[in-house]
């Protein structure tokens, strides 16, 4: 009798899990395994079969292969891939469903308090030459009347983080969570790192609350085939994004489980600076066009067409 009850209990659990899987439609998602993935961390940690990390420099191939129902990627990269689909260069169409990241860039130095005036006439090292991130930083500096003496580039935020730690005179642009990791490392060496938020510079100059950085893209075929599952998935992502503000500890723990970040303490300190907010594509359109206007070549020469947006009329 006990064996029968145990079997029935197991069957109920299995059916429950199947029902959950069916409710989600078996949908999958990929994202660069860094700050953008924090947007789905709690959702993915509870359903670890839905998420596959990808290297940031290979995100374009994810659009081309069409293996995933959802992709988190820089919004300009998604816009460029949407143009490639329209031109018949790739087989799969992805539409922007929502923005999830609004700028995690910071200017930092080994100073007690880094001020805007410290940047005038200074040498500044950025990362990501000829990318929208670099364009946004240079735009924010210019709009605030800041003119660096020299601008140089390194390969990524981790590279500028290393320079920040190694050179007490360096002024660099880095990103969360690399900035927080640098601050923790500096503290162990009895050093102090301070920073200026690029988003704050943008807000001072334009009034905009950040810029359109990373978006959640949905495969058009999936949206057509199973719109209810897509909507359910989007609600789960929206809830996960919300936890980046309301339950940072849970997101930090999930980030460690998923190996997005190696340390929950660093993750918890970094997450608030990642500017993660879920905004539907239609509601974010105006801000996306403002971001595109900073450097149109990063978006293929013009703002995205209306059919770029999921749910557009």
DSSP E strand boundaries for the chain: 29-32, 51-54, 70-74, 94-101, 105-109, 123-127, 150-154, 171-175, 194-197, 214-219, 276-280
Q: For the chain, list the domains and their CATH numbers.
A: 2-102+212-308 (3.40.190.10), 105-206 (3.40.190.10)
- pLDDT, tens digit, 9 for 90 and up, residues 29-44: 999 988 999 999 999 9
Confidence at residue 287, expressed as pLDDT on a 0 to 100 scale: 96
Q: Are strands 150-154 and 123-127 parallel, antiparallel or unpaired?
A: parallel
Tokens of 232: 């359910």
Q: Can you list the residues of the chain whose pLDDT is less than 70?
A: 1-25, 313
Confidence at residue 231, expressed as pLDDT on a 0 to 100 scale: 98
Angle at 238 between CA 240 and CA 279, to 5 degrees: 130
Q: Evaluate whether 226 touches 313 at the Cβ level (below 8 Å).
A: no
Angle at 43 between CA 284 and CA 47, to 5 degrees: 140
């Amino acid at each position: 009798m006990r064996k029968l009850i145990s079997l029935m209990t197991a069957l109920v659990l299995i059916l429950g899990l199947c029902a959950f899987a069916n409710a989600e439609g078996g949908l999958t998602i990929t994202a660069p395994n860094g700050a953008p993935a924090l947007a789905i961390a709690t959702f993915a940690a509870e359903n670890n079969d839905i998420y596959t990390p990808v290297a940031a420099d290979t995100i374009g191939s994810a659009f081309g292969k069409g293996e995933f129902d959802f992709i988190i990627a820089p919004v300009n990269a998604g816009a460029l891939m949407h143009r490639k689909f329209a031109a018949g260069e790739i087989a799969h169409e992805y539409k922007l469903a929502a923005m999830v990241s609004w700028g995690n860039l910071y200017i930092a130095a080994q100073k007690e308090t880094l001020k805007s005036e410290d940047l005038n006439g200074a040498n500044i090292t950025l990362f990501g030459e000829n990318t929208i991130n670099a364009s946004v930083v240079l735009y924010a500096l210019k709009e605030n009347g800041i003119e660096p003496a020299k601008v140089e580039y390194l390969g990524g935020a981790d590279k500028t983080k290393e320079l920040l730690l190694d050179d007490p005179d360096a002024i660099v642009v880095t990103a969360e969570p690399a900035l927080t990791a640098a601050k923790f490392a500096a503290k162990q060496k009895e050093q102090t790192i301070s920073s200026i938020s690029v988003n704050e510079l943008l807000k001072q100059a334009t009034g905009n609350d950040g810029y359109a950085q990373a978006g959640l893209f949905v495969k058009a075929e999936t949206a057509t085939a199973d719109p209810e599952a897509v909507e359910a998935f989007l609600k789960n992502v929206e809830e996960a994004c919300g936890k980046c503000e309301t339950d940072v500890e849970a997101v930090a723990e999930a980030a460690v489980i998923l190996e997005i970040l190696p340390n929950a303490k660093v993750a918890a300190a970094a997450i608030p600076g990642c500017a993660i907010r879920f905004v539907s594509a239609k509601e974010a359109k105006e801000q996306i066009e403002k971001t595109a206007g900073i450097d149109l070549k990063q978006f293929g020469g013009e703002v995205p067409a209306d059919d770029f947006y999921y749910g557009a009329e």
